[in-house]
Structure 1
Amino acid sequence: MNKLFGYTRVSTLDQNLDTQLDALHKAGCDEIFQDKITGVSTSRPALNTLLTQLRPGDTVMVARFFRLGRSRDHLISLLGEFARNGIHFKALDLGVDSTTAAGKLVLQIFSALAEYNRESILEKTRAGQLLAKAKGKHIGRPTGLDAEKFAKVKKALERGLSVAETVSLTGISMSSVKRYRKQLEKTSL
């Protein structure tokens, strides 16, 4: 049996959920999940619990459209995930209902705008990287070895310490220790 799940969120502990809860109760939600947390917070315990309970054919309803996601991109990502998994979505304040043609159109427009935004950001990033490279700036991990760290790793590995023990002893990152170990193996061949 398909369920109608409600979700509410307020940004601060002194705000209350009453108006959102009232609207969702009147709309007939079977179960309502509530978060009192800032919009930019990545931790949404109630939303995470809701997402684990959703099955194809279920509906997620919000009283206010912008309360579902922590950002525009997160909201669009959630809506895309719902669509891929056969989950319906309704926002009471905007009258958006993914089961209707008009609702699907609105959500597709939002999705297209988010994709355009992502592509635009990638283009700007690539252009900035090319410009920096043209000016002779190195992009990415620094080239070469840190002689001091390399010597520490070499000494630790020669003493028979494992990679994990070397990391613990030297404070050098796991990836660097492994990279230095590969260098040592190449030179000893």
Structure 2
Amino acid sequence: MSLIGYARVSTADQSLNSQLDALKAAGCKKIYQEKMSGVRDDRPELQKCLDYIRDGDTLVVLKLDRLGRSLHHLVTVINLLHEKEANFRSLSDSIDTNSPSGRLTFHVMGAMAEFEKSLNADRTRLGLASARARGRIGGRPKALDSEKEGIVDQRRSEGVSVAKIAEELEIGVATVYRYLKSQEADAA
């Protein structure tokens, strides 16, 4: 039953010292350190930390935002700890999942994360339906409109290379190849 610390700052020029001091004072013998944005989910030191934690251990951070920027990510990490039968403690936020009130706080946060996720999905669905009703279709605009398709056909019939056509139209070579392939499929 060990206290495992995790300290993170967003940029390389920021200092971890205050977090390290607080984690050591809390009794952490092993501390994982990272200089990377909390928005990223692919934080190698956090992953090493989570892989290291065993049954009965407690992951300790100075503040919740050191672990993750989104509520959804925080809940995901805490659920992973729960699966490993490990605990979580945030020193500044007075959250400790080793206590009934700490577990309740995190369950409420988890419910809020699910609610937020559901609201975002509903907003997105309504926004897309509203845009479709106005004749707008989402997604990236096509690189080749009918005018450019005609130019591709004409230039190819003249024997011009795909690379040269792409350069003239200021589009990617792959776009020209995809168009030509679709034309071949339609002809077949």
**TM-score (norm. length: structure 1):** 0.68
Contact 1:10-1:67 within 8 A present in 2 as well: yes
The gaps in structure 2 that reach 5 residues or longer are: none
SS in structure 1 at match of 2:69: coil
The answer (yes or no) to whether the contact 1:149–1:172 under 8 Å persists in 2 is: no
**Superposed CA RMSD:** 3.8
1:83 alignment counterpart: 82
Structure 2 equivalent of residue 172 of structure 1: 172
* 8 A Cα contact 1:62 1:91, kept in partner: yes
With normalisation by structure 2, the TM-score equals 0.69
Cα separation, partners in 2 of 1:145 and 1:13, compared to 1, 3 Å: closer
Which position in structure 2 is the counterpart of 1:30?
A: 29
* Residue 121 (structure 1) shift: 1.4
Q: What secondary structure sits across from 1:140 in the alignment?
A: coil
Q: Tell me if the contact between 2:39 and 2:68 (Cα under 8 Å) persists in the aligned partners.
A: no
Tell me the residue number matched to 1:54.
52
Supply the distance in 2 between the matched residues of 1:177 and 1:86 (Cα, whole angstroms). Answer: 55
Q: Give percent identity, aligned residues only.
A: 34
The residue type equivalent to 1:135 in the other structure is R
Give aligned pairs, total.
178
Distance 2:121 2:173 in 1: 29
What SS does structure 1 have at the residue aligned with 2:137? coil
- Structure 1: gaps spanning 5 or more residues: none
Give 1:68-107 correspondences, 5 Å limit: 68-107=67-106
1:45 Cα deviation (Å)?
4.8
Q: What letter matches 1:75 in structure 2?
A: L
Aligned partners of 1:64 and 1:140: how far apart in 2? 38
